[in-house]
Structure 1
Amino acid sequence: MWRPSLPVSLRAALGAAPLSSAGTPRALEGKVALVTAGTDGIGVGVAEALGVAGARVFISSRRAQNVQRAVEQLRGRGLQVSGVPCHVGRAEERERMVQAALDTFGAIDILVSNAAVNPHFGPALEADESTWDKVFQVNVTAAAMLVRLVVPHMEKRGGGAIILMSSIAGYQPMTGLAPYSVSKAALLALVAALSPELLPRGIRVNGVAPGLIRTRFSAALWQDEAVRERALKELGVERLGTPQEVAQAVLFLASPQAAYVAGQTLLVAGGARPRL
């Protein structure tokens, strides 16, 4: 029976790797992953999970001492990790980071765009224009520009995987987090917009939307008991999640196990049912 053949790049995006490699502990052997904001919380959890799966991992954070600490921590676990300080909201620093990853490991197969800011906690109308600009510059524009930077290098390798870190707040805006919530909703659309453009080029684009995760970044939502209980009730869940639980979702989307998954955002939120 005649069967239509797929372009090489599309076959790569849909899983050219042998199926037998998908479930092995070293499913990412030979791959290089770039993880932004990879020194704490979800980011360092993702870096560790990818490294344990065999990837060489390049991480970044705004502060050099945080990068050094995380690199030493992860190398101490036997992982191949390096990194540089980078403010992803600045074009020249993004370019230097990508080049440093290439200079260190020679390739980029996986991008996890995890960096985000939330400088405002309060009523939406109290957020001024500079706050909205900062949130969108770091949370949305930087993610899109990083994708633009890494795509040519992924194509040279025959394909790749991109994971954009959204949030349940992108589906269900949370009290006091209007700019952040709107920016995370934009990332849901960015995943959907990029996927049909990049899938024929061998690159799968997906997202992960964590719920309320116990990290320093989200401390304003869980350190105070009353605020925590209100947030859990608002989301309809029993407990906070962990960075490691989010990292496993990212690992799945980066691995051959997700060869037939593209243009999706995976909600990792303890059973929360967002309204949008």
Structure 2
Amino acid sequence: MYWPDENPWIQARAWVPGGLFHPCAGLSVQLSSSGVEQKGTLANQVAVVIGPTHGIGFTIARHLAQDGAHGVVSNQKQQNADLVVAALKGVGLNVMGTVCHVGKGEDREKLVAMVLEHCRGVDFLVCVPGVNPLSESTVWSSEQVWDKVLDVNVKSSTLNCSQLLPYMEEKARNSVVLISSVAAYIPLAKIRAYSVSKMALLGLTQTLAVELAPKNIWVNCLVPGIINTDCSQMLSEDPTLWNCLERFHGIQRVGWPEDCAELVSFLCSSDASYITGKNIMLPSFSPTSEGYELRAQACLLM
């Protein structure tokens, strides 16, 4: 996988262990940068990014902080939270971090307490958590698999919203961004329970958008296509499938985490003040017949 050498945060990221899809408990840790006034479209607003601190999650946190937001990141392992905060502080960004197992209520409460202590409120909430245990059968997946997938991928986003909601209502305008997956539209053979959970986020987005609009909270969902991350490596191992996926959206390439981060930052900005309840596929499906044929072919190959 290629990462541009000119981004100094990449060097620190290289030390962040992979395989962060299996949550584990941890004690809260706080590490923040100096409270310097920020400049940018999101200047001096607070963005809480919950979920993996690598790939899409890391890049979203970095982009929001680059746009001026005070970033709060969380991870299920203390060492990963520390490394991510150090990486972002190393390029002058204003961030703090805490350990949070999104499936555990006590950890979510610690996250809220830390945000209130240091930030006095929340402007943006971005929910990135996702686990994808192998489950080749929807019907025969075990109860443990379903509990794990739904707890982390769906329920945690709802509960994080409910716990942070009272401190978002105090602001003039707030944004919640959920992260789904192309798997919501294309059931992947090896992770079928994951596909179901990501489809559930599409409905959750529209339900929350209607419910929270009177409170000036906008809710949208990013639906990443094939993004070049550690998670997608199992797809790239099949040359035939990867070639199909590269042509899948009609623009002849797979996406990068930066493609996702730019859209999330836009949805949090005032430029998106009339956008809510949208599930935004990145990029959209090709309108050509070939695009839909490739979509079907991809389903069969998976």
Q: Normalising by the residue count of structure 1, what TM-score does the alignment of the two structures yield?
A: 0.85
> Which of 101, 106, 109 is 1:92 aligned to?
106
- Determine helix, strand or coil for the equivalent of 2:58: helix
Residue 253 of structure 1 aligns with which residue? 267
Q: Is contact 1:26-1:54 (8 Å) kept?
A: yes
Residue 180 of structure 2 aligns with which residue? 166
- Determine helix, strand or coil for the equivalent of 1:77: coil
Task: Give the Å deviation of 1:199.
Answer: 0.7
> Which of 249, 255, 258 is 1:244 aligned to?
258
Supply the distance in 1 between the matched residues of 2:246 and 2:137 (Cα, whole angstroms): 19
> Kindly tell me: are residues 131 and 229 of structure 1, through their superposed partners in 2, closer, same or farther at Cα, counting changes over 3 Å?
farther
Q: Is contact 1:83-1:101 (8 Å) kept?
A: no
Tell me: higher relative CO, structure 1 or 2? Use CA pairs within 8 A at least 6 residues apart: 1
Letter in 2 for 1:60: S
Residue-pair matches, total: 252
Supply the distance in 2 between the matched residues of 1:258 and 1:248 (Cα, whole angstroms): 13
Q: Is contact 1:38-1:46 (8 Å) kept?
A: no
- Determine helix, strand or coil for the equivalent of 1:209: strand
Q: Is contact 1:124-1:176 (8 Å) kept?
A: no
Residue 225 of structure 1 aligns with which residue? 239
Supply the distance in 2 between the matched residues of 1:87 and 1:228 (Cα, whole angstroms): 33
Residue 164 of structure 2 aligns with which residue? 150
Supply the distance in 1 between the matched residues of 2:190 and 2:52 (Cα, whole angstroms): 26
Letter in 1 for 2:143: E
> Kindly tell me: are residues 223 and 58 of structure 1, through their superposed partners in 2, closer, same or farther at Cα, counting changes over 3 Å?
farther
1:116-155 equivalences in 2 (<5 Å): 116-120=130-134, 122-155=136-169
Task: Give the Å deviation of 1:132.
Answer: 1.2
Supply the distance in 2 between the matched residues of 1:44 and 1:272 (Cα, whole angstroms): 28
RMSD of aligned residue pairs (Cα, Å): 2.1
Q: Which runs of 5+ in 2 are unaligned?
A: 1-38, 296-302
Q: Which runs of 5+ in 1 are unaligned?
A: 1-24
Residue 49 of structure 1 aligns with which residue? 63
Q: Is contact 1:41-1:216 (8 Å) kept?
A: yes
Letter in 1 for 2:166: P
Supply the distance in 1 between the matched residues of 2:232 and 2:124 (Cα, whole angstroms): 25
Residue 269 of structure 1 aligns with which residue? 283
Q: Is contact 2:135-2:193 (8 Å) kept?
A: no
> Kindly tell me: are residues 152 and 175 of structure 1, through their superposed partners in 2, closer, same or farther at Cα, counting changes over 3 Å?
same
Q: Is contact 1:241-1:270 (8 Å) kept?
A: no
Supply the distance in 2 between the matched residues of 1:175 and 1:228 (Cα, whole angstroms): 15
